[in-house]
Chain A
Amino acid sequence: QSALTQPASVSGSPGQSITISCTGTSSDVGGYSYVSWYQQHPGKAPKLLIYDVIKRPSGLSNRFSGSKSGNTASLTISGLQAEDEADYFCSSYTFSSTYVFGTGTKVTVL
């Protein structure tokens, strides 16, 4: 199972919106509604941001939103803040009942 493809880096100014893509195949992203997104600050454990493509865990800021079209899922961060600077990973359920993670995207707040 090959890793899902994400851009290596995305940047934006405070207050702006950015979108991170996550491209897979019909055997993972395109075939199921179990795409999740995680935020990871250096030296820390990942934190769940989005699950089931569009759902947010209770208490999470609505600045984070998810979507999917075909084999590509996307995470949008609106109203970018300094604390959003981190690594972001997507994951998907696969046809073999396992997980596949994305390659990861480093978000820089300019």
Chain B
Amino acid sequence: EVQVVESGGALEQPGGSLRLSCVASGFTFTSYAINWVRQSPGKGLEWVSGISGSGDTTKYADSVKGRFTISRDNSKNIVYLQMDSLGAEDTAVYFCAKDLGYSSGWGIDYWGQGTLVTVSS
């Protein structure tokens, strides 16, 4: 059974940092891209970042470019999202999501339950 489980969400002050983790199981981890998608309270879905199966290709939404860094440890089946210079606009539930393809963009077939990030003083 495919599973992706996020952790690391918390209350953080503006300007602070957080690192989200996503542990995956039930599939050949290195064959698929992993994405982070966020959803602000009562709002729609926003793709944040994606990383290819090997980790050599990373992509970011313009809204987080230069502040967020995605990485993966293929020996542990974990994907990380390092979030720096957080602002109120980053408040959202963050979903870890498995791609249908080796690179991001082909569609998302499995989603985690999400982890809540709240940025507030």
Contact = CB atoms under 8 A, between A and B. Distances in A.
Interface stretch (B11-19, B24-32, B41-49): B41-49
Contacts, number: 68
Interface string B51-87: 0000000011110000000000000000000000000
A93 B59 CA distance: 12
A36 B108 contact: yes
Query: 5 tightest A-B contacts by CB?
Result: A51-B107, A93-B105, A99-B47, A36-B107, A45-B111
Nearest to B101: A34
Interface of B: 35, 37, 44-47, 50, 59-62, 95, 100, 103-114
Given A1-B62, A45-B114, A51-B100, A98 B47 contact: yes
Interface residues of A, number: 25
Interface of A: 1, 3, 34, 36, 38, 45-48, 51-52, 57, 89, 91, 93-94, 96-104
Contacts of A3: 44
